[in-house]
Chains A and B, each alone.
Chain A
Amino acid sequence: MRELKLFLGPQHPGMHGNASVHMFVEGDIIVRSYLLPGMLHRGFEKGMERHSWVNNLALIPRVCVVEPDINEMAYAMGAEKLAGIEVPERAHWIRMIILELARISIHMMAYGGLGSPTGNYTLMYHAHADRNSILDIFEQISGHRIYHQYIVPGGVRKDLPVGIEKDIHAFLDDLESRYTEYRDLGIENPTLVKRIKDTIMLPESVVWELGVTGVGMRSAVNKEYDIRKVMPYALYDQVEFEVPVSDYSDARCRVDIKLKEVVQSIGIIRQCLAKMPEGPVRVPMAQGQSMRWTLPKGHVYSVVESSRGEFGYYMVSNGGTHPYRIGVRGASYPQGLLGIEKYLPGTRIDDAALWVDTMGVCSPEIDR
């Protein structure tokens, strides 16, 4: 039986990110597949060793393009722990607002991204429009739309601009009011349900085998495993939120959980805005020139909950101005690299893009 070779990416409209999935196909069933990374390989980890602790601030957001803030947070947390810096309380609240806004942004993008492989472009455009509003808010806060470099060791770069709460509230209200509309357009849409229900399964055994975390894990094993709950960072232990879980992980369930997390994030942001005290937002990282900032010798692993799961930085310092070694735990690494090789075969080419999409594969994380 002769096989047919198909390429999903890097120029393929079904692949977001600069990676390529090579699929060997019989009829329309994938019999063999592997991820071909390297399209984006800029050596982030190695690059970090060659830049000073401060210079790295400009590099780290690029490790995951669509969701840069978690990188900043993890890096900042690690550096603070190594240097022993105490962050002011207001900075914690602001960081949580930023992170949750970013979470809404990426979840909206993922939800809209569902529209692309299934052809519902209206959903995609609407979701992107909402993401655009968040980017507007980010622009007001940090002056940047995508790579903010706003969360820095010691707090946040500067305080929130005046009146931003109103904008944020307005946006959240607006989003909340259109929540049912979104569901109807997306996961309740009968044509889409046919595509995503009972298909692209992620069974519990695979979760344990590959080490999938985040939405994938919570959707499959019915456990409230969320870093914000089990190892609270910032001030997540002071806000109340529910972690949506399920034990039947099809594509629809995972997207559903993402959408529920949007609601969850809206709640968290509201609480943050209400509880946020006045005060300083940053302590200076070091005395003197920041370029010569050194961290004491030691190593630390800092971890945050990203939209795709556990996202961590392992940072080793030898006491110099440059990091000795920084390792990144990409949240989508297990399903992205191993999952594609092992569990993409057996699905149909129709579902390949949807598989990559709903499993939450972010190629730069793999290709760092």
Chain B
Amino acid sequence: MIEILMNIGFGLGVATFGFVLQTAMGGINRKIAARLQKRRGPKWYQEFIDIFKLLSKRATSHGWIFDFGVIMALGGIIGTAMFMPITSSIVAFEGYDNFFIFVYLIAVGMLGMAMSASGSGNPLASIGVMRALTTMLAYEVPFMVVVMTIIKLTGTSSLTGIAVAQQTGDFNWFMIALPLGFIVAVMSLMGMLGKKPFETYIAPAEIASGPMVEYGGKQLGMLFIMHEITIFIEVSLFVHLFLGGAETIIMFLIKYFIVYAVLNLVSNVLGRFKIDQVVTFFFKWPLFFAVVQAMIAIHLGWVI
């Protein structure tokens, strides 16, 4: 019993760590992006300030589903983050960090947010949710094919298991071992993070920030927290799956930073697709590459 409570406490620690890490990373990357755009940019801790300001403000609510959805969203994401390994040894629930948990439990958070947004009664929010779900349909399929290839190769769907398989030398880092798959995964990760050109569901100029349009105050603050943790989960997944995980926290931070910063830089010089272009894009080359990669790796056994 005590052990379980310890684990849960540990898990909450991971979630908090993820929040702090990503919020700081977000701030730093705002700075980097600003330099790219000939601006000075805000302080690196600006995101913390924003969130705490929002949390402290008095907000408005559109009814119980509006609040309930926010709680469900944040709760789902915190729950997901608690399973996330940081390094191969720092993991709250050892052996239970099944990849599918991340894919599906994260969906609870998404669903909660979608529900809350639709519950606000603003049509733009519903359109945003529609776009978010459609984008999800687009990027998940190629990504899952690549990850399934990895699971088939390593024989485990545990994240630490996959990371350890790369560290012990059974496989190269999968970004090298499965080059095509890696490219696909990068694109999918951009979709997951809502980076341009797949930022369609935010699209301020079209649907006024989509799902977020009605929020303010603590609800928005909580959604910010949720958003930061979501990004933490997704980038960490990527690190563990393709970059060989991490032996130490320092390595994890470095890899995390590199992945996030590179994506951020790439994203900043691209425009935004329309929603159907997102779908056709992902179902054209990335899916094709993913399938080719899977065929090569599984049926022919050619893994570098």
Contacts and interface: CB of A to CB of B under 8 A. Distances in A.
A115 interface: yes
Contacts of B271: 115, 118-120, 189, 191-192, 194-195
Given A119-B197, A126-B38, A191 B208 contact: no
Contact of B277 (A116, A119, A122, A194): A194
Contacts of A195: 271-274, 277
Interface string A175-195: 000000000010001011011
B270 A120 contact: yes
A211 B272 CA distance: 32
A5 B124 CA distance: 10
Q: Determine chain B's interface SS by DSSP, over half rule.
A: loop
Q: Determine chain A's interface SS by DSSP, over half rule.
A: helix
B37 A122 contact: yes
Interface string A1-42: 000111000001110000000000000100000000000000
Contacts of A119: 196-197, 199, 203, 205, 270-272
A6 B123 CA distance: 8
A119 B210 CA distance: 14
A160 interface: no
A6 B199 CA distance: 20
A120 B269 contact: yes
Interface in B183-199: 196-197, 199
A166 B296 CA distance: 62
Contacts, number: 81
B209 to A, nearest CB: 8
Contact of B268 (A117, A122, A352): A122
A121 interface: yes
B207 interface: yes
A174 interface: no
A125 B37 contact: yes
A229 interface: no
B262 to A, nearest CB: 15
Nearest to A350: B274
A304 interface: no
A4 B123 contact: yes
Contacts of B269: 120, 122, 185, 189
A361 to B, nearest CB: 14
B208 A14 contact: yes
Interface in B29-74: 36-39
Interface residues of A, number: 31
Contacts of B277: 194-195
A117 B205 contact: yes
B136 interface: no
Nearest to B196: A119
Nearest to B123: A4
A48 interface: no
A351 B270 CA distance: 17
A125 B273 contact: no
B217 to A, nearest CB: 18
Nearest to B275: A350
Given A121-B37, A349-B127, A189 B270 contact: yes
Task: Sort A-B residue pairs by CB-CB distance and give the 3 closest, nearest first.
Answer: A119-B272, A14-B205, A125-B37
Interface of B: 36-39, 123-124, 127, 196-197, 199-200, 203-209, 268-275, 277
25 contacts: A13-B204, A13-B208, A14-B204, A28-B127, A115-B271, A117-B206, A119-B205, A119-B271, A120-B269, A120-B271, A121-B268, A122-B36, A122-B268, A125-B37, A125-B38, A126-B37, A191-B196, A191-B273, A192-B271, A195-B272, A349-B206, A350-B200, A350-B206, A352-B206, A354-B205
Interface of A: 4-6, 12-14, 28, 115-122, 125-126, 129, 185, 189, 191-192, 194-195, 348-354
Given A13-B208, A129-B38, 11 more contacts: A117-B205, A119-B203, A119-B272, A122-B37, A125-B39, A185-B269, A349-B127, A349-B206, A350-B200, A350-B275, A351-B274
